[in-house]
């Protein structure tokens, strides 16, 4: 991959930066203003030779704005690209099917990914997810509802889960 673009947007929970391939697929994203925080978690096979700032990333930037404004499904159709082993890639695809407002446990996630005994592998898929928000690993909790971990901090995870909880 030669050149990718990045952009940072203000969100209610801090700056959110996205790195996008030339074809529009998200390669990395998270709540940081520094794209270097993202390139270190990206698969080496996908790392761009050059990273250029772009004020707006079109549909990707629009989806980030819409999500933070309450349109939780705005991120669903944005293409993402991650590389790893077969299970992790499958697990990331499965994460994209977990609906907003309906978090699952790590055990549930392992079962959804087809390997109910692979709870640690499911947790590893969350920990190694380079495209936060678009692959919503924040929707996975410990049994009993404890947050577990989140690369961008538990305050961010809590905000996202609260944001996605339907109003009663």
Max CA pair span of the chain: 48
Active site residue 126: no
Residue 105's beta-bridge partner residues?
Answer: 141
Residues present in the chain in total: 168
Helix (H, G, I), strand (E, B) or coil at 16: strand
Distance (Å, whole) CA 88 – CA 83: 8
Catalytic residue among 4, 60, 63, 137: 137
Which residues are identified as catalytic? 137
């Amino acid at each position: 991959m030669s050149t990718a673009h990045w952009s940072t947007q203000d969100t209610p929970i801090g700056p959110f930066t996205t790195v996008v391939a030339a074809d529009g697929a998200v390669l990395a994203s998270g709540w940081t203003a520094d794209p270097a925080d993202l390139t270190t978690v990206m698969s080496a096979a996908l790392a761009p030779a050059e990273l250029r700032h772009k004020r707006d990333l079109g549909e990707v930037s629009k989806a980030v704005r819409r999500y933070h404004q309450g349109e939780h499904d705005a991120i669903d159709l944005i293409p993402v690209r991650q590389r790893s082993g077969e299970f992790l890639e499958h697990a990331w695809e499965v994460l994209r099917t977990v609906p907003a407002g309906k978090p699952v446990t790590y055990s549930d996630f392992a079962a959804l990914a087809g390997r109910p005994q692979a709870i640690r592998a499911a947790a590893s898929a969350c920990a190694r997810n380079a495209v936060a928000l678009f692959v919503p690993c924040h929707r996975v909790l410990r049994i009993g509802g404890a947050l577990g971990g989140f690369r961008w901090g538990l305050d961010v995870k809590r905000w996202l889960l609260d944001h996605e909880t339907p109003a009663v």
